[in-house]
Structure 1
C-alpha cells in the first residue's frame, strides 16, 4: 500500500489546517441557563422574528456575563431551539431543512435537548458523525460519489459511508443505519470491523448566508468488504460507488475530488 511519506505532506498539512479554521467573523456564546450550547454571530438573531413565551418574556435575550456579550435562550431547550430553527428557516438563514433532530449538548458533553439539523451550523452547535472506510481483500477502497443534488459537497467522492448521528441514535446504531441507507450493507456482511480513530472539524460554512460554523466530531471505522459483496445505495444520496486502488485514491484526494472529511480519514489510515 502506498504511504503518504511518498506523497505530498504539504497537502496533508493543508488539509489539517482547513479542518481547524477560526470563524470568519467574531462569534458570541449561546447559553441555556448556565450551559453553553453554541455560538452565533452577534447580529444573526436580531434578524429573526421569534414569538414571545406564553408568559410574555422574550425567548432570546442579549446579555453580558462576566463582561462577555452573548445570547440567552429561555425555557425548554428543545422547544426553544426548534422555534429558533423555524424562525431562521423563515428568514432564509438556516441550512437545508431535513426534518431531522440532532442532539444538543453543553460544554461538558451533557445532553440538554435536540434541534432541527438545519439550524446547527448558524447556531454553532456541535454535531457528531460516523464514517466507514471499506477495503477489499486485495486492498482497494470502496468509495462513494455523493449525489449531485446534496446540499453539501455535491458530486465529491467520500468514504464508503458517512452520515450524521441523529438524536435518536447512538454511535453504534448510526453506524448500522447509515451503512444500510448509504451502502445497502449490513455489518454482518463485513469483516474485521474496527474503530479507526476520530477527526475533529472546525471551519466556517455557507449556512446562514455565511454565518455558519461547523463544530463536528467524526468517529470513523474500518472494515474489509469480502469478495462478491457490492454496495448499493438505498436512500438516493449516492450517485455511484467505485473501487479505487491506493494510487488513484491519493491522486483524487490531492486534486480536491474528495470531501475534506474523507480525505483526512483516509489519509489517517494510509499514513
Structure 2
C-alpha cells in the first residue's frame, strides 16, 4: 500500500474513533411517544416535564407525546420558544429539519419537523450532504469557510456541504448546496454517493448526531467554483497530499475532514474503509 493510502487509512480510523463518543450518564433517552429519537440532559428533561403536560420524565427516559406529526411540530415549537435566546441554542436559522428515530439513518420515516437549531439539545439526527469534486488527475476542489460564519469561520471545508431540509431528497439537497456554495448548475455534474459518515459527539449546543452522505464527482479542467451565498471565502484546487497535511494540522472542520478523507479513500479504491449507502 502506498504512503498516501496508509495516511488516508490511518487518519480515517483516528477520526472515525473520535466521531463516536459514549453518551454520558447525565443524558437520558428522548422518546417520541414509543420511538427513541435522541437523548437529553436529565436537568433539561425535568424542567420540560414540569413545564409541559405532554412531557414526562421516567427513571430511565424522557417521553414527549403527540397524537400526530402536526401536533408534534407545534409542541416542539413551544419548547423551542423557551430555548431560543439561551446558550443551549446556537445560530437560530428559521429552517425546519426532519425528526426521525435514532436508528433511521436514511431518513426513511420522518416523525415530524423541528427548528434546525433545536436538534443539538435533543441529539436528534441531522442529515448532511458533502461534495468532493475531483479533476481527472486526482486533485480536489475545497473551500475556505467565510470568516463571518457563526461556526468554524476561516476553516477549510468541502467544496459544498450543508444540511438536508425537511422533506428534501438527498440528491436535491446536494444540488441546492452545490449551487448556493459553489455556483454549480443543477444537473451539470454526475454525482455519486460514495460513503456515509455517522458522527455522535458532544458540541457546545448539546450533542451532534449527524449522518453525512458523501458525494463525489469528476470535473473538467474548465470547472471553477464560485460562491453564491456569501458563505465561502475562497476555493482552492489541491493535491491529495496538501489536503492531508491541512487535515493533520486541524485546518479543516471535523465533519469535513471525515468527508474529504472518505472521498480520497473512494478515489484511492479503499472501499473497505467506507460505509457505502444505497441512495
TM-score normalised to structure 2 length: 0.84
Count of residue pairs the alignment pairs up: 257
> Displacement of 1:113 after TM fit?
0.6
- The question of 1:98 aligning with 2:118 is answered no
> What value does the CA root-mean-square deviation take over the aligned residues?
2.3
- The question of 1:239 aligning with 2:233 is answered yes
Alignment of 1:168-207 (within 5 A): 168-190=167-189, 192-207=190-205
Q: Indicate the SS of the match to 1:189.
A: coil
Whether the 8 Å CA contact 1:143–1:244 is kept in 2: the answer is: yes
> Displacement of 1:24 after TM fit?
4.9
Bigger drift between 23-32 and 169-178 goes to 23-32
Q: Distance in 1 between matches of 2:55 and 2:253?
A: 36
1:55 counterpart residue number: none
1:17 counterpart residue number: 17
Q: Which residue of 250, 256, 260 corresponds with 1:262?
A: 256
Whether the 8 Å CA contact 2:49–2:56 is kept in 1: the answer is: no
TM-score normalised to structure 1 length: 0.86
Relative to structure 1, the CA distance from residue 269 to residue 108 in structure 2 (aligned partners, 3 Å threshold; closer, same or farther) is closer
Whether the 8 Å CA contact 2:97–2:166 is kept in 1: the answer is: yes
Bigger drift between 29-38 and 121-130 goes to 29-38
Relative to structure 1, the CA distance from residue 151 to residue 80 in structure 2 (aligned partners, 3 Å threshold; closer, same or farther) is same
Q: Which residue of 56, 59, 62 corresponds with 1:61?
A: 56
> Displacement of 1:35 after TM fit?
1.8
2:268 counterpart residue number: none
Q: Distance in 2 between matches of 1:27 and 1:155?
A: 32
Whether the 8 Å CA contact 2:193–2:214 is kept in 1: the answer is: yes
Whether the 8 Å CA contact 1:36–1:107 is kept in 2: the answer is: yes
Q: Which residue of 218, 221, 224 corresponds with 2:215?
A: 221
> Displacement of 1:204 after TM fit?
0.5
Q: Distance in 1 between matches of 2:257 and 2:87?
A: 31
Q: Distance in 2 between matches of 1:167 and 1:6?
A: 38
Unpaired runs of 5+ residues, structure 1, are 53-57
1:42 counterpart residue number: 42
Alignment of 1:22-171 (within 5 A): 22-24=22-24, 26-46=26-46, 52=52, 58-64=53-59, 68-74=60-66, 76-107=71-102, 109=104, 110-171=109-170
Bigger drift between 77-86 and 117-126 goes to 77-86
